[in-house]
Structure 1
Amino acid sequence: MLQAVTISKAPGKGVIYLPATIQESIPVTTVCFGSKSIPCTTVRTNNTSIKLTEDLWNSLLLPIDLSRIHFSIKDTTLHLGPLVGIFTSGFTPYLLRPIGERSRFFSKLLTAQKTISVCAYIFGEEHIDWENKLINGYYFTEEDGWKQAVYPFPSVIYDRLPNRKSERLKRSRIVKERMETEFTIPWYNPGFFDKLAIFERLDAEEQIQHYLPETQSAESIFQLEQMLRKYPSIYVKPIHGSLGKGIVQFYYEKKEGMYYARYERNEVQKLQKSVALEPLIKQALRGRPLQRFLVQQGIPLHINEGQVVDFRVHTNKDQHGVWQVTAIAAKRAGSGSATTHVKNGGKIVSLQELFEDLSTRQEVQKKLKKAALELSLSLERQLSGVIGEVGFDFGMDTDGRIWFFEANSKPGRSIFSHVDHREYEWLTRKLSLAFSIHVMNQQLNHDLAGLKL
C-alpha cells in the first residue's frame, strides 16, 4: 500500500536512507520511479523521511523541487510515485502557452500535485523517446511558469485528449496501445462517451431505470412523429456531439396544427415552424442523415426566471478508488435557446441562487448526489476502461423527479467560472490526480481488474 513521505537528497553514493519503522525485515536492493529502476543499498535511520544520495536522485530523474512522494516496498524494490503522465495533444512551439488556450487549465491541474504527494507532467506523442523510455515533458511552477524536463515513462497515464478527432488519430491510438501492452502502464479516463451507447448500456441496470428518459437511435420521420404524440417535446442530438452543438428541440402545437423546431445556428437562436415535420428536420439538421442522431424524450423542466434549468454534477474517484461528488451547479437556458449551454446564451447559477429555501435546496442536492453516485457505479460496471471522473447533465421536472440526460468522460469547466464554485474547481483538480494513487496501488498488487470494483 502506498504511503506519503517526505523525500530529500543526502550525501554519499548509491544509498537510500529509510526510516527504521518501514518494513525493516525486507531488504531493499532497487529503487524505482516510473520506468527508471536503479540498484541501491539501504541504510536504516531514526528519521521519518526518505533520503537518496544525489547520484540516485539524478539517475531516477526525480524533479529538483520534489519534497513529498508516495512509496511502497514490494519484494526488494522501493517504488516511488505515482509519476503521472498527462497525455494530450495540440501543443504549440511557444513555452509561454505550450498547450495553447488549454495551458491555463493544465497549469492549474499541475499545481494540485504537491498537495497530494504525486508527481505529474504533460506530454504528447511527439515528446516520447520510445527507445530510451524517456519523455521530454512539460511542468509548471508559479515562480518560473512553463518548463520542459526529461522524465521516465510514467507509472500511470491520465488521458486528457481534447476531442474525438485527436482521439481517433492513428498516432494517439498507437501511444495508448504501446503504453498499455508493451510497458503495462495503466491508462485512466480513455475515450469519449458515445451518447447512444451510454443509454443502451444503462438499460441493463435495473436500479437506475427511473432516471432514464426514453432514448432511441433516430431512424425515421415516422418514429419522431410517434414520439411527439407521446411527449410534449423531443430532443434530437448528435450521437458524437459536445458543447450543445447540433441539438434541436421539436414540439407540436395541436391548436395550431404546427410543428416547431428550436436550435442554434451561427450563434443565433432559431425558431422555425411548419405544418409538416420532414422539412423542419431537413432544415434544422442541415440535410445530415437522421442515423447520426439520437432522439430523446423531452422533460418539462424546472423553471427559473422564465427559463428552463438543468444541472451539471461532477463525480471523481478519490485516492481510495471511491466515487465522490465534487461539484454541483445549475445552468439556466438563455432566451429562446434549446439548451442551457453557456455558448448558447446559458448562465451558470448556484443552487443557493436557484433555491432560496434551505430545506428545498438540501433536498435537491441530496437527490442529485444520489443520482450521480448511482450512475457512476452503473457506468463503471457497464463500460470498458478505467474511469476516474464523469460530468453528468441532469434535469429536474416540475414534480421534483431527477432525469439523466448525458454523461461526459472529459467534462467541461464552464461551471467553475461562477464565484461560488471555485472550491469545487479545486476539488475536481485534486481528485483527478489523487485517483492515480489508487491506480498505482492496484498496479503494484497486479489487480488492474480490481480498478472497476
Structure 2
Amino acid sequence: MTVVHYSQDRDIWFHQDRGRTYTFGCNGLLSFSNDTPSFSFSIKEKNGKIGPLVGIMVSESSIPALLNRKKRYIELISHCLQEAGGIGVVCPISAIGEHTVHGYVFVPAFDRWVPVTAPLPNVFYNRIKSRREEKSAVFQQTVSLFERLRIPFFNRTFFTKWEVYETLAKNERLRSHLPHTVPALHIDDIRNMLQTYGSVYVKPNDGAKGKGIFRLTNSLLSKTILYEHINGQKTIVSLDELAPLLEETRYIAQQAIDADTWNGRRYDLRVLVHYKHGSYIISGIGVRLAQTQQLTTHVFNGGTILPYSEVKQRVDEKALHSLLAACGKEISGRFGFVGEFSADIGVSKNGTLYVYELNAKPMIFDEPDIRQSGAKQLISLFAELAGFAPS
C-alpha cells in the first residue's frame, strides 16, 4: 500500500514517495509534490501501478441525491473500495473527457462527497438509470472512447425481456428452464398463448419492478377471461378490449408457471450474480412473496420479503448455480461483457427452476447481507479487471 494525496486548491493528485514513479488510472502518471494535501487515501500498489481507480457512472439527475447522502449503495461501494485500497469516482457521462473525469469521491475525514478531477479510471461501472440516456449520442461516444482505450466497462446496456428470452432460448440446455415467451405485437399473439397455456403474464418489454404487468386466465365455464392487474381484477369477454394497450406499449406474453407456494402465496427467488475468474457466481439469494392476488412479487408493487431459509430446502442450489453461470455466459455473448446481473427465478411445484427475467442493473437488495456481499464481489471484480487481483 502507498498513499495518494489530493490538493483541492491545485486540483491534482500526487504522492510524496521521493524517488518513486507511479501510474494512476488508465493513462496517468502520478506526480511527486511536497504540497500539503487536502485529503489522502491509502491505495494498493503493484509494480509501480496504484489503484484501482474506478469510475462509477450515474445519471446527471442522480448527482443531487448523491451529494445529499441518499445514494447509500453507491456510498457502500465507495467505502468498500477504499477499505480494499482503491478509489471510486462517481461521475455523469457528460463529465468524462478524453483524458480526465470530473466527479466526486467520498472523503471519510470530511464525511461527504468532494468534487475532484481525476485521470481516466482503470475500469468503469455503469449505474445509469435510464434507457434514454444509454441511447444518447454522448453515451455512445463515451463507450467508443472506452473501446479505443481498452478500458473495461460494464454493464453496457439495459436488457429487454424479449432480447433476454431470445438469447437464452438459443441454448438448448437453458430452453427447458424458460417459460414460453412471444412478442405480443397483436392481440392474436396473446390469444394463441392463452389457448395453449390457459394463463399468461403480459409484461412491458422494457419494464421493471413489475410495473405494467397483468395476467390473463381463461375461464372455461363462463367463456370469459380473468384480467388481473396491480390495482385489482375484472372479467372481460374479449381480448379485443385490450387492443389499445398494445398500441401504447410493446409487450411480451409469457407462459404462467404452476409455481410453488409458501403458506398459499407464490414466491420467486431474486438472485444476485457476479463474474469471477471466467465464470459467474451467486452473491446472494433473496425471496419475494406475492400478495394474496398473486400477480407480482415485487416489493415496489406490494410483494413482501421472505427469509431464504424458509424455502432453502426446496431449492436445488447446485442446479441454480449452474443455470445462472450458463445465463451469464450467454448474455455476455449478446450484450458485451456483463460483470453483474440479477435474476428473477421461479420454482415450480415439482422443483424445476425457471428464468423469468434477467436484469442488467440489479435492484438494491433490501437484505443487508446481500448488499454487503454484492459490494464485496464488485470490489473483487474491479480489481480483477484493472489488473490488481492477487497473483
| TM-score relative to the length of structure 2 | 0.87
Distance verdict in 2 for CA 1:58–1:219, change over 3 Å: farther
Instruction: Report the CA distance shift for 1:297/1:105 in structure 2 as closer, same or farther (over 3 A).
Output: same
C-alpha spacing 1:427/1:226, structure 2 compared with 1 (3 Å): same
Of 7, 29, 35, the residue aligned with 2:2 is: 7
Q: Distance in 2 between matches of 1:324 and 1:173?
A: 29
Where do residues 150-229 of structure 1 align in structure 2 (5 Å cutoff)?
Answer: 150-181=117-148, 183-229=149-195
Structure 2 residue aligned with 1:405, among 340, 356, 380? 356
2:233 aligned with 1:271, yes or no? yes
CA RMSD of aligned residues (A): 2.7
Contact 1:235 1:247 in 2 (8 A): yes
Match of 1:33 in 2: 24
Q: Provide the rounded CA distance (Å) in 2 between the counterparts of 1:233 and 1:313.
A: 25
User: Are 1:345 and 2:308 counterparts?
Assistant: no
C-alpha displacement at 1:102, in angstroms?
Answer: 5.2
Structure 2 partner of 1:124:
92
More displaced stretch, 289-298 vs 232-241: 289-298
Aligned mates of 2:23, 2:245 — CA distance in 1: 57
Does 1:287 find its partner at 2:245?
Answer: yes
Runs (5+) with no aligned partner, structure 1: 1-5, 17-29, 40-54, 73-77, 443-453
Q: Distance in 2 between matches of 1:207 and 1:378?
A: 11
Task: Report the CA distance shift for 1:85/1:406 in structure 2 as closer, same or farther (over 3 A).
Answer: same
Give the distance between the partners of 2:42 and 2:150, measured in 1 at CA: 27
Helix, strand or coil: the match of 1:151?
strand
Q: Deviations over 1:46-86 (max 9, x none)?
A: xxxxxxxxx52689xx99432231424xxxxx332221111
> How many residues align structurally?
376
Summarize the Cα distance change of 1:100–1:219 in structure 2 as closer, same or farther, 3 Å threshold: farther
Give the Å deviation of 1:256: 1.8
State the percentage of identical aligned residues.
24
- TM-score after normalising by structure 1: 0.76
Cα distance in 2 for residues equivalent to 1:313 and 1:92: 25
> Secondary structure of the equivalent of 1:287?
helix
Equivalent pair of 1:217/1:291 in contact (CA under 8 Å): no
CA offsets, 1:141-164, max 9 Å, x none?
444221122211112111111121
Q: Which residue of 2 aligns with 1:71?
A: 46
| Cα distance in 1 for residues equivalent to 2:89 and 2:81 | 10
Residue 386 of structure 1: which of 337, 352, 368 is its match?
Answer: 337
Q: Is the 8 A contact 2:200 2:256 kept in 1?
A: yes
- The equivalent residue for 1:445 is none
Among candidates 101, 106, 124, match of residue 74 of structure 2: 106
1:301 alignment partner AA: A
Q: Does 1:432 align with 2:378?
A: yes
Extract unaligned runs of 5+ from structure 2: 5-14
How has the CA–CA distance of structure 1 residues 334 and 92 changed in structure 2, closer, same or farther, with 3 Å as cutoff? Answer: closer
The residue identity in structure 2 corresponding to 1:297 is Q
Cα separation, 2, equivalents of 1:235 and 1:58? 65
Given candidates 260, 272, 283, the residue that maps to 1:314 is 272
- Given residue 403 of structure 1, which amino acid in structure 2 is its aligned partner? Y
Which AA in structure 1 matches 2:356? Answer: F
Distance in 1, matches of 2:63 and 2:370, equals: 32
Which moves more between the two structures, 370-379 or 195-204?
A: 370-379
- For 1:138 and 1:58, locate their aligned partners in 2 and report how far apart those are by CA, in whole Å: 24
CA deviation after TM superposition for structure 1 residue 384, in Å: 3.3
Q: Is the 8 A contact 1:329 1:349 kept in 2?
A: yes
CA contact (8 A) 2:87 2:105 kept: no
Residue 166 of structure 1 and its aligned partner are, at CA, apart by: 2.2
Q: Deviations over 1:19-64 (max 9, x none)?
A: xxxxxxxxxxx6321145449xxxxxxxxxxxxxxx52689xx994
User: Could you say if the C-alpha distance between residues 12 and 111 of structure 1 is closer, same or farther in structure 2, counting changes exceeding 3 Å?
Assistant: closer
Question: Per the alignment, in what secondary structure is the counterpart of residue 289 of structure 1?
Answer: helix
Change (3 A) 1:81 1:247: same
SS in 2 for 1:438: helix
In structure 2, do the counterparts of structure 1 residues 217 and 291 end up closer, same or farther at CA, with 3 Å as the change threshold? Answer: farther
